[in-house]
Amino acid sequence: MSGALEPASPENLRVLLQSEDFIVVDKHCDLRIDSKMWYEKNTVQAQLRQRFPLLADPLTYYGFRFCHQLDFSTSGALCVALNKAAAGRAYRCFKDRTVTKGYLALLRGRVEGENRTIDFSIGKTSTEGKTHMMCIEGTEGCENPKACQTELRVLEYGTYDGEPATKVLLEPLTGRTHQLRVHCSALGHPIVGDFTYSLGADSAPYRMMLHAHLLRLPLEPRALQVTAGDPFLPALDPKWLPQCTLRTAGGAVESLLDRAAAKEEEKDKEKKRKEEERRKEMKKKKNRKAESEEQKRPCQDWLSEWGTE
């Protein structure tokens, strides 16, 4: 697999999870999710239509409700809602930033430090010839930069095709376009094979080495959680040669999920606390109303007696 990939087709579409409400697929790299262009026949949308024709919804433009986006070059876990109610529930998770995502990546060079927080603000570039790209605040032509944050955990140090490389787990805490690619590039360690953010220089690898490995949506009554394998292994790509392991991908994911679980627990406690406060306030209002009625009664009795004299 070091030089090419099997072309995406309905037959090799890998389904990670399927329920009444959702399908999660392992998106092929270098594949669009959907397209309005008549000549683009090979998309995730087309794969789903051919593989699951009865699940397509004619009321939607693309036939399927994609809950989020993955770049053309990025592979991995992609969630699709199968009805409007499920799409709404998933949308709220993304809107409230309660979704946990973990991306595996190979970066150029040796990333120092086991854990890094990358917080460059990101905006859209207005520089001629680069308007399809994003940029960090302070660079020429960067418009409307917004705060962004990515957590980086180093997994392994090694080489890719003889050059120093680092395998990492990236956790985007915000959701800006091209966030992971821009953040890694700004850190001085662009993603291996990222043609766009290397300005066309990194063209030798057969793909961009960014993969959506973990996806967790804290839905009720049960969370949706999937992992989409690890394509960056020597057995799959012999050009990647790890030399020093700091932690496994599984261990890093567990750490990420533990932190997410702690946040969810804290949020649940806060929700219960607010509900208890609301209940107590309702009880107080009810008691005040009852007291008010008691206070009014002697006056009403007196008025009633006075009116009969």
Give the mean pLDDT of 143-164. Answer: 97
Confidence of residue 263 (pLDDT cuts 50, 70, 90): confident
Name the residue type at position 189: H
Instruction: Answer for the pair 21, 81: CB distance below 8 angstroms, yes or no.
Output: yes
Non-local (6+) Cβ contacts of 223 within 8 A are 216, 217
Q: Which of 97, 246, 92, 226 is nearest to 158 (CA)?
A: 246
Helix (H, G, I), strand (E, B) or coil at 2: coil
Q: Note the pLDDT tens digit of each residue in 275-291.
A: 778 888 877 877 776 66
Confidence of residue 246 (pLDDT cuts 50, 70, 90): very high
Non-local (6+) Cβ contacts of 234 within 8 A are 240, 241, 242
- List the catalytic residue out of 26, 71, 194, 202: 71
Backbone angles phi, psi at 257, to 5 degrees: -70, -35
Helix (H, G, I), strand (E, B) or coil at 6: coil
Confidence of residue 2 (pLDDT cuts 50, 70, 90): very low
Question: Residue 71 catalytic?
Answer: yes
Q: Edge-to-edge, what's the strand order for the sheet holding 134-136?
A: 134-136, 122-125, 142-146
Q: Note the pLDDT tens digit of each residue in 115-149.
A: 999 999 999 999 888 888 999 999 989 999 999 99
Q: Which of 266, 150, 284 is nearest to 218 (CA)?
A: 266
Confidence of residue 41 (pLDDT cuts 50, 70, 90): confident
When the pLDDT of each residue in the chain is averaged and rounded to a whole number, the result is 90
Whole-number pLDDT of residue 264? 82
